[in-house]
Amino acid sequence: MHFNKKLFSKKNRIFFFKYSLFILFISILIPIVLELKNLFFSEKEKIGVNFFYFIPVLFFNMMPIVLSLKKDLFLKDGPMKALGMIFYYLIFLPIFNTFLDGDGLNMVEGFNIVKLVNGLNLILLFYSHYILFDYTFMDVFLKKREIKSKDLFVTFSLYITLAISFGSLYTVISTWSSAPAFNGINYNQKDLYYYFKHVYFSFITLTTVGYGDVTPAIFITELLSIIEIILGIALINFSLGITLGSGILNFNNKEKNIK
């Protein structure tokens, strides 16, 4: 990978440091204010340790906002930065969001704030998917660029991460919905398997397999399932098909280009 000094310039480093400190300040201030509110306006006698769990959850949930505020911050805007954002959302954030489980965070107001931040993150997550979809499908379809060998990796990564992202969205909808959003999912035990069942449904929907053991039960999940099926067909039949059909894996063509 070519190292670009402009991406790691002093100006970018100062911007990242300044906004990271601001987010850290907000992450500390909000739980303290909520704890003081509970202390003065409820029967609570002392500040608990709940807000210590709340600080890292808020901080790491708001960090992607910093990366999206400035163009070419550490990574050049495009498919690789979008992939980095997606993997951050799908790998790192779930780890820190586990702080919300159990007795870690019992503040209703705090939980609502995290839900609001997570809603914004979902928008950024699917916007990152849009960037990848535009790169792997629309740009090629409209002949805005030539097909490259890395398109295989980007398309496959988009396919996998899209399924996990829809699974995360289904999980959020199930958590927020007053009625069961899916049939075949146990809503009494909200643990890692609860999240996995939504991701499982997402994969069998995106691949158009549809075993039928888990099915959407409300309008929004039915609508999203249709959208996911259409995206899955577009990615496999068109984007991946065009990429493979371009001959980039043809060894003889590579030899001719070298000569």
Alpha helices (H) in the chain, listed in sequence order: 10-41, 50-69, 79-87, 93-97, 108-133, 139-141, 150-176, 192-206, 219-233, 241-245, 251-258
3-state secondary structure of 98: helix
- Comparing CA positions, the residue from 87, 248, 56 lying closest to residue 158 is 87
Q: Divide the 259 residues of the chain into consecutive groups of 10 and give the mean pLDDT of each group.
A: 59 81 86 74 60 76 76 70 81 64 47 73 82 77 73 80 88 87 85 85 91 93 94 76 62 46
Burial 210-228 (b: 16+ CB within 10 A, else e): eeeebbbbeeebeebbeeb
CA–CA dist 92, 96 (Å, integer): 7
pLDDT at 172: 84
Tokens 């779930």 sit on residue? 94
Question: pTM here?
Answer: 0.67
Angle at 166 between CA 160 and CA 167, to 5 degrees: 90
Integer CA distances (angstroms), 140 to 45, 133, 135, 242, in order: 63, 10, 7, 8
CA atoms 27, 33, 39, 45: torsion sign: positive
Spell out the domains of the chain, with CATH numbers in brackets.
1-125 (no CATH), 146-247 (1.10.287.70)
pLDDT at 221: 95
Token couple for 136: 């792997």
